[in-house]
Chains A and B, each alone.
Chain A
Amino acid sequence: MRTYTRLILIFFALIAANSAAAQDGDDIRDDEALKMVALEALMSAPSERALPIVIRVLEGTGSDEMKEAALFILSQIDHPDASEQLLKTAQSANGELRRDAIRMIGISGGDAVDSLAEIFSSGDADVRKAVLEAYMIAGNSQGLYNIAVNAENNDDFEAAVEMLGAMGATDELSKIRERSGVSDAIITAYIISDDADAIRELALDGSDLEQQANAIEALGIVGADDAEALLTQIYRDSDSEFIKEAALDGLLIGDFDDSVLQLYRSSTSTAEKRELLQRLVMMDSDQVLDIIDETLAGDH
């Protein structure tokens, strides 16, 4: 059978999708599989020919899965009508189809991305999450920054800031930090973006003990080259039990048991030794048994 004939058959299979009478389950499933292949095939057709067919599928009575596939095809068609259709669906559809249209706007990366801010502000939590993801897909850090600085609640702020971390958008994160100060979300974003320099700076900044403690723990998570030495130094130098505790947590998270062991051996305080020993036990350090043995031998 000629290729062209098959393509025509497939086009008609798609068109028929919108007028098909009720069918039994297996027939529907096979019919749907055929239509999905037909949709794939549209990528081989000129966009001006493919576009009306895809739009017809989207506006027809087919399944959501079929319409989601049509949305993806639209995202790959470089034509203003395709963007417009994506935007229309993102604004008017419900549930999963709406969220998928938002994702496809991110994938298409066209002018429709500019409309995501409005969709974000009028959407529910799931729509807002989809918009953040679409900005990430589009590589649009400015859109995420705008959402973060204009956020009306902490959840939106945190989600936008963490997504900026996922994008490694260090400039935007710095601007947010200057504007809103250090927050848990900023530190989490630095962890996600593996920005050891920023975390190190915060870990040594004693202006806000709570955030300093968070940053100290984050040092253990990102595991920078000098993290072990820095955490040990912070532990030794700090007068604050709160900060010492955070440094120990950082050492535990980073699995730096050699340093905890050194601290144990150099400590002259029984209370401190007890605390350090507990940490070593929690770290499942190979040297715990030796220490216990030494301690018990000392008793004898």
Chain B
Amino acid sequence: MNDDTLVLYYYDDGLSNQERRDVEAAIAADESVRARYEELRLQLDQLDTGSDVAAPTHMVQRWHDSIDRAAQRERVPVRSKPGQFNAMSFFWGAAVSAALAVGIGIGVIMSGSPVPVELAPNYALVDPETSSVVPGAFARGMQVHLRDTQRNIVALSGDNREDRTLLVMRIIQQNRLFERAAEQNDSAGLARVLRAFEPILLRLAADDIAPEDADALRRQLAFELNVMLTKLERDTSKETHKT
């Protein structure tokens, strides 16, 4: 009997009648289950539910997916252990490649010479120099940018080094535009996050990056992008409620 089931039982939510009966039987028959449920119940009782902010729709969907996957996992046989990611070897490799890549990348970006690549048709290009953005429009444009970046990061897993480098340069160029837009819209925090993406992107473009290291960096970026999307949606939602 796991905690998830006990929490669902506590909230009388998400369990079938048979599952509820099973939980009741387990609590009655098993001392350890009863103790755990009591512990959870005490903690849940203490939680104040009044001030929670509604979770964004896309986040709720992601929770559903993750919980469903976790539930499926419980039903399939355990496979052999995957190779474990070695954080230390990752960093040393990344640091060495970054020393070169950051210099080259920044040079390309800062030179003002646009990288001659075609943007994907659905790629939202916003030029903060020419567009008259308002905070709402800015937030929406930023959300589109972050989602586009998510999509492009998935494409970075391709084997072709030149394609990968060009794609990284394209993402960075776009990122730079939005970084400037963030600064112009008094969103210094957002600008800092966008700046922080660049070194990671450049490490991803390095020739000698190991596949597992690249996976780890992509996961890191994906996580940070998701967090920023959630934060933006939360802030946008708050603004909407205010007005």
Contact = CB atoms under 8 A, between A and B. Distances in A.
Partners in one complex: yes
A6 B107 contact: no
B14 A192 contact: no
Contacts of A6: 55, 60, 63-64, 67
Contact of A96 (B3, B14, B90): B90
B8 A5 contact: yes
Interface stretch (B24-32, B43-51, B157-165, B167-175): B43-51
Interface stretch (A99-107, A197-205, A282-290): A99-107
Contact of A129 (B95, B195, B216): B95
Given A5-B7, A76-B193, 6 more contacts: A1-B13, A12-B4, A44-B54, A46-B51, A73-B227, A108-B189
Closest 3 pairs (CB-CB, A-B): A25-B81, A1-B14, A43-B230
A192 B226 contact: no
A257 interface: no
A186 B4 CA distance: 59
Interface residues of A, number: 64
A65 interface: yes
Nearest to B48: A49
A166 B110 contact: yes
Given A8-B47, A96-B91, A107-B196, A166 B7 contact: no
Nearest to A2: B13
Nearest to A24: B78
Contacts of B79: 25-26
B148 to A, nearest CB: 19
A292 interface: no
Interface stretch (A28-36, A146-154, A228-236, A262-270): A28-36
A226 B102 CA distance: 28
B52 A106 contact: no
B64 to A, nearest CB: 8
A72 B82 CA distance: 26
B111 interface: yes
Contacts of A39: 223, 227
Interface in A113-141: 126, 129, 133, 136-139
Contacts of B230: 40-41, 43-44
Contacts of A76: 189, 193, 227-228, 231
Interface of A: 1-10, 12-13, 16, 24-27, 29-31, 33-34, 36-37, 39-41, 43-46, 49, 64-65, 68-69, 72-73, 76, 95-96, 99, 103, 106-109, 126, 129, 133, 136-139, 162, 165-166, 168, 191-194, 222-223
A45 B8 contact: no
A222 B81 CA distance: 51
Contacts of B216: 65
A288 to B, nearest CB: 26
A37 B62 contact: yes
B13 A41 contact: no
8 contacts: A2-B13, A7-B55, A8-B7, A26-B81, A26-B82, A46-B51, A76-B231, A107-B189
B62 A34 contact: no
A33 B112 contact: no
B3 A12 contact: yes
Contacts of A13: 3-4
Interface of B: 3-4, 7-8, 11, 13-14, 40, 44, 47, 49, 51-56, 59-60, 62-64, 66-67, 69-70, 73, 78-82, 85, 87-88, 90-91, 95, 99, 102-103, 106-107, 110-112, 188-189, 191-193, 195-196, 199, 216, 219-220, 223-224, 226-228, 230-231, 234
Contacts of B52: 4, 7, 44-46
A1 B8 contact: yes
A292 B102 CA distance: 41
Contact of A95 (B81, B88, B192): B88
Contact of A40 (B3, B49, B59, B195): B59
Residue from A34, A40, A41, A106 whose CB has the most chain B CB atoms within 10 Å: A40
B13 A192 contact: no
Contacts of B56: 44
Nearest to A166: B106
Contacts of A168: 110
Contacts of A166: 102, 106, 110
Given A137-B195, A222-B111, A44 B14 contact: no
Given A6-B67, A95-B87, A133-B199, A192 B103 contact: yes
A43 B227 contact: yes
Contacts of B189: 76, 107-109
Contacts of B67: 6, 9, 34
Contacts of A162: 103
